């Protein structure tokens, strides 16, 4: 009887977490719809980009889990950035925004959920370009904090993010998973 009660409570808590997450996503997406875009180097996501984005995602991450990309490309299309060279997508960087409290102030906090560079463009400054332009766009739209997760074994990515001022705030957080760092930048 006690085990059944625990399972029911656990199931209810999990359902509440998903419902709460959906509320945060919806609230954040309402603000993002009004974001401006000034960059001449990167552009916003378009529906026709999905096939190439899936292809890049497979190359970068080796999996076919597209749920997050599909969900956030729809809700947060104004901050899902694409870099093209000669008409071909060579880099993507996607974010979602939630409102969080910073002391007594409520601020917009962006979380990077995907950064992927075409292997043919690595070592050419592509990652620096898309991160720099994305951060400018977020700052221009009053985002105060940017965070993300990095594989602890990906030292190159960590160094690149640290060049922009990102700091490690936590190791192996529940939100990122094992052998990861949570990084954060105050704009």
β-strand partners of 115: 93
Q: Where are the beta strands (DSSP E) in 103-160?
A: 105-117, 143-151
Does the pTM surpass 0.75? The reply is yes
- 178 versus 16: the higher-pLDDT residue is 178
Cα separation, 128 vs 124, whole angstroms:
9
Inform me whether the pLDDT recorded for 2 exceeds 80. no
Q: Are 126 and 159 in contact (CB under 8 A)?
A: no
Inform me whether the pLDDT recorded for 40 exceeds 90. yes
φ, ψ of residue 94 in degrees (nearest 5): -115, 145
Cα separation, 67 vs 73, whole angstroms:
10
- 101 versus 130: the higher-pLDDT residue is 130
Going by the DSSP 8-state scheme, the letter that residue 182 receives in this structure is E
Is CATH 3.40.630.30 the classification given to domain 2-186?
yes
Percent of the chain predicted with pLDDT > 90: 55
What's residue 148's pLDDT?
93
- The mean per-residue pLDDT over the stretch 121-137 comes to 95
For the chain, domain boundaries: 2-186
pLDDT tens-digit map of 70-92: 888 888 989 999 999 999 999 99
pLDDT tens-digit map of 146-159: 999 999 898 999 99
Q: Are 83 and 42 in contact (CB under 8 A)?
A: yes
| Of the listed ranges 13-17, 44-48, 173-177, the one predicted with least confidence | 13-17
């Amino acid at each position: 009887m006690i085990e059944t009660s625990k399972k029911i409570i656990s199931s209810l808590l999990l359902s509440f977490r998903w419902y709460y997450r959906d509320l945060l996503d919806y609230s954040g997406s309402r603000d993002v719809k009004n974001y401006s875009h000034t960059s001449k180097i990167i552009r916003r996501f378009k529906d026709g980009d999905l096939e190439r984005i899936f292809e890049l995602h497979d190359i970068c991450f080796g999996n076919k889990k597209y749920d997050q990309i599909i969900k956030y490309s729809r809700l947060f299309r104004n901050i899902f950035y694409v870099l093209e060279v000669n008409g071909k997508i060579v880099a993507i960087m996607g974010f979602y925004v939630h409102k969080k409290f910073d002391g007594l102030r409520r601020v917009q906090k962006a979380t990077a959920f995907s950064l992927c560079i075409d292997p043919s463009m690595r070592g050419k400054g592509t990652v620096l370009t898309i991160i720099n332009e994305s951060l400018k766009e977020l700052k221009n739209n009053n985002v105060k904090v940017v965070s993300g997760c990095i594989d602890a074994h990906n030292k190159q990515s960590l160094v690149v993010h640290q060049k922009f001022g990102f700091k490690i705030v936590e190791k192996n957080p529940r939100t990122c998973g094992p052998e990861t760092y949570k990084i954060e930048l105050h704009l």
